[in-house]
Amino acid sequence: MSRRVYLDHNASTPVHPDVVVEMLPFFAERFGNPSSVHAFGREARDSVDQSRERIAGFLGVAPAEIVFTSGGTESDNLAVRGLALAGRRGHLITSRIEHHAVLRTCQALEAEGFALTYLPVDQYGMVDPDDVKRAIRPDTIAISIMHANSEIGTVQPVAAIGAIAREHGIPFHVDAVQTFGKIPMDVADLAIDVMSFSSHKIYGPKGVGGLYIRRGTRMVAIQHGGEHERRRRAGTENVPGIVGFGRAAELRAREMHSEAERVRGLRDRLGLGIQARLDEVRLTGHPVERLPGTANVAFRHVESESIVLGLDLKGVAVSAGSACTSGQVEPSHVLAAVGLDLPWAMGAVRFSLGRSTTAEDVDYVIECVETVVAKLRRLLPTTTT
């Protein structure tokens, strides 16, 4: 295998070399517990606070409105459950294409007696803000809609939904794990009250994420055992991770805009290139309102896992849209929600590009996709003689 191309940036990204350099002293030299009162602890506390300021600065919010967590999943759990428990009982609104960190939390809350509305999406994976408005009840205590979907990349009309939520005085949570550091956002303009984000999607380390909680938002902590993070998230802070996260966010502020334009061009080159070479190929997700680096391509009558395997053997890393586990197909809940027929959904592959992706990489991937898919299609059962 001569060439390796990583097109799975929505799953994770390589840690930026500058981030690694910044993190290294915090493993063995500056290892103190930020809660300790001695010099080692104060040093760690200062570094955590500096990262908090960096991330707050990146978002244009106050440092006290940032809570560090162990990642996007914890942030989503804390946000949705924390808002629900603050309301004690009532009704929550979310969509059918949320990440499982939100969906499973909502289902757990439903089992505990909360009422849930799971909004549908259109063929592009877009939530209709009017549906949100219609779903609001007198006892609605929270709305949680993702900023962009990790599988198909559709960016939701968060500003319109936020305005509706604010008008009704309902706390609005946004899972921004896939957009934070990738596209510009202003939490005030978007009327967001609580927002989840993650480090390893933006060239930071794994195991660290964050939550923006607008000042005055009522939330209940779901993890107990300490006074950390202003009593909003108990547990010793992951200092090296937080330091790396802060540096990663700072770097994104510098690189995000130019990179988004470049990556968008490469993404379109990839999608158009594949469509020019192969028949029965369809791009899913919104044609315009889509993450710059995400192309979800469905290949009719080819099984996505065999495409992923074929590409992997050519050094190309991508993700399958539908998973076959123990012989049971589980078409992605997102592809099902956008109404993609099974023969298409079974062949959906996600290509997610990033800062290191080049035009040469994209051209190589187009060649590989053509070869792999054409070969798999030649194996397909046809009419018998």
Partner 1 sequence: MRYSATLIDHFLNPRNAGLMREPDAVGQGEYEGCGDLARFFLRVRDGQATEVRFQAYGCGPTIAAASVASELMAGRAVGDLLDVKAHEIEGALDGLPEDRRHAADVVAQALHAAARDWHQREDHRV
Residues of the shown chain interacting with partner 1 in the complex, contacts defined by CB under 8 A: 301-303, 305-306, 309-310, 313, 324-329, 342, 346, 376, 378-382, 384-385
CA distance 324 to 48: 42
Name the token pair of 125: 């994976």
Whether the CB-CB separation of 155 and 290 falls below 8 Å is answered with yes
Smallest distance, Å, CB 375 to partner 1? Answer: 8
Smallest distance, Å, CB 303 to partner 1? Answer: 5
Smallest distance, Å, CB 329 to partner 1? Answer: 4
The three-state secondary structure class of 237 is coil
User: Which distant-in-sequence residues (6+ apart) come within 8 Å of 210 by Cβ?
Assistant: 55, 66, 67, 68, 69, 75, 196, 197, 198, 199, 245
Which residue lies nearer to partner 1 by CB, 120 or 343?
343
Longest dimension (CA), the chain: 83
CA distance 65 to 286: 32
- Determine which helix (DSSP H) or strand (DSSP E) holds 79, and give its type and residue range: helix 72-87
Which residue lies nearer to partner 1 by CB, 258 or 385?
385
Count of C-beta atoms within a 10 Å radius of residue 145: 25
Q: How many Cα neighbours within 13 Å face the side chain of 65? A: 21
Which residue lies nearer to partner 1 by CB, 272 or 329?
329
Smallest distance, Å, CB 385 to partner 1? Answer: 6
Which residue lies nearer to partner 1 by CB, 106 or 373?
373
Smallest distance, Å, CB 275 to partner 1? Answer: 22
CA distance 220 to 235: 15
Residue in 290, 299, 297, 291 with CA at minimum distance from that of residue 271? 297
Which residue lies nearer to partner 1 by CB, 305 or 370?
305
Which residue lies nearer to partner 1 by CB, 64 or 309?
309
The residue type of 377 is: R
φ, ψ at 142 (rounded to 5°): -165, 150
Beta-ladder partners of 194: 173, 213
Strand 281-284 to 209-213 pairing = unpaired
Name the token pair of 348: 């959906």
Q: Which residues are catalytic?
A: 324
Smallest distance, Å, CB 313 to partner 1? Answer: 6
Which residue lies nearer to partner 1 by CB, 244 or 331?
331
User: Buried b / exposed e across 57-72, counting CB within 10 Å, b at 16+?
Assistant: ebbebeeebbbbbbbb
- Determine which helix (DSSP H) or strand (DSSP E) holds 253, and give its type and residue range: helix 239-277
Whether the CB-CB separation of 354 and 263 falls below 8 Å is answered with yes
Smallest distance, Å, CB 350 to partner 1? Answer: 17
